[in-house]
Structure 1
Amino acid sequence: MSDITTHHWTASDGVDLVWHETGAGRPLILVHGLFSDAAMNWIKFGHAARLAAAGFRVIMPDLRAHGASGKPHDAALYPKGVLGRDLVELVAQLGLSNYDLGGFSLGSRTVVQGVGQGLAPRRAILSGMGLEGLMGWKQRHAFFIEAFEKFDAAVRGDRHWFAIQFMKSQKVDRVATRLLLESNSPVDEAMLATFAMPTLVLCGADDHDNGSAQALAEALPDATYVEIPGTHTTSVTQKSLGEAIATFLTSP
């Protein structure tokens, strides 16, 4: 897409962060997943273009330690909940008061953190995420730490193989992303209870990486569960992901 613009801003701790945007209209913030970036999750497969065509100003940050954003190697710059804090600060930076907010995988966790820290979008989207992935973070954390440790040794057939290949394709900064992993913590029931806004829980039919998306929808006060084709890796490539988000956000 030629109409994507890229903007830099400085977080409260001095880290340079980036957001990309396209379209005009109602603000919609979309947050990408772990080891990915805005281009991979939202732009490459047409979701940003679809949502811009539906009348949205699509705002897509690159998370700390990802994409074009800063990747510091100082552990002090990765306190608990830092991604939620960055998201809160971005909303303030943009001066938004009436907006929608969504994420994929780690982006969904970041949305939950942001709402837990005071964000109040009109509607929310949690995609590529299940209840266990939010509330049982220790297991996912251990998986990724093992992937880092096997980065140069894992062979095809190893359960970490695809995660490692994706990290290599994205040229991730392993020092920065490992520090970022340590900043995450399990979500508790009180944080989920803050989701008073209508929420779309969207997940691939064969995506079980983060547990049950249907259970997550049932745990939220006002959620709708929608299933699309694909695994955790392939669902984000499906046209139906952007279509489902557009339908949810434009419905009465």
Structure 2
Amino acid sequence: MMNEKPKMHFTDKYLLAPTNPITVNLIGAGGTGSKMLTGLMEINESLLALGHPGLQVRLWDDDLVTSANLGRQRFFECEVGLQKSVALINRINRCIGSNWKAETVKFVKDNAGNLPENARATITITCVDTVKARFGVAEILTELNEKRSYFRDSPKYWMDFGNSQYSGQVILSTVGNINQPTSQKFEPVKNLPFVTNEYGELLIQSEKNDNTPSCSLAEALEKQELFINASLAQMGCDLLWGLFRNGMTPYKGFFHNLKDFRTVPIPIA
């Protein structure tokens, strides 16, 4: 009896050798998103050092910085009252001389059902706090995939971050099928399902009824531990970095519990 080949997803070849920077839509600039942006900056600088064109990031968030965001999110006292996306993107651009963009609106369809401008990106990363927002992103990506073209920013991947007070998860999905090479060693997997398809019922059941914004940092810490967002962001960045650096991944995400320091990878099935 022959042993089954281990399953592996091979990175879309466009990510590995593009002629232009890889476009990224980062949706949400809060506890996870603000730290994920720093990780994307580090990935970008590392890719450039390796001769890759790097990343072109667009950050989406319609919220303003409040005093409750200080400490747990990557904001400072002098930024209170500013648009979150603008404050973070300006800081990154000043730091590395990039031309990344800020969007001060939600990543949603308008009342007429039209897609948001600049919705198309090779990689979409969601750091949102509601199930409704995730299903909205899934709908937009599905529509973009149905209108798939050969433009350089044709959507390829969706990485979703979610967390509760002590724990969280990161799920990597493909937008449609990704062409895979033949392999004698591995069983290539061309499709990684959306988080909304695979864990939709679980997301709905786990969503809390009270999403009222915190009025202070102390109140915010009662809802989410100080380092759960940063911990998830770092590990998620490593998963994304592996797509570029290794050209393949045997995992499509992980479940992470910071309270007892346990992480369980999710193998590709």
Structure (1 or 2) with the larger CA radius of gyration: 2
Q: Which has the higher helix share?
A: 1
Q: TM-score, normalised by structure 2?
A: 0.38
Q: TM-score, normalised by structure 1?
A: 0.40
Greater relative contact order structure (CA < 8 Å, 6+ sep): 2
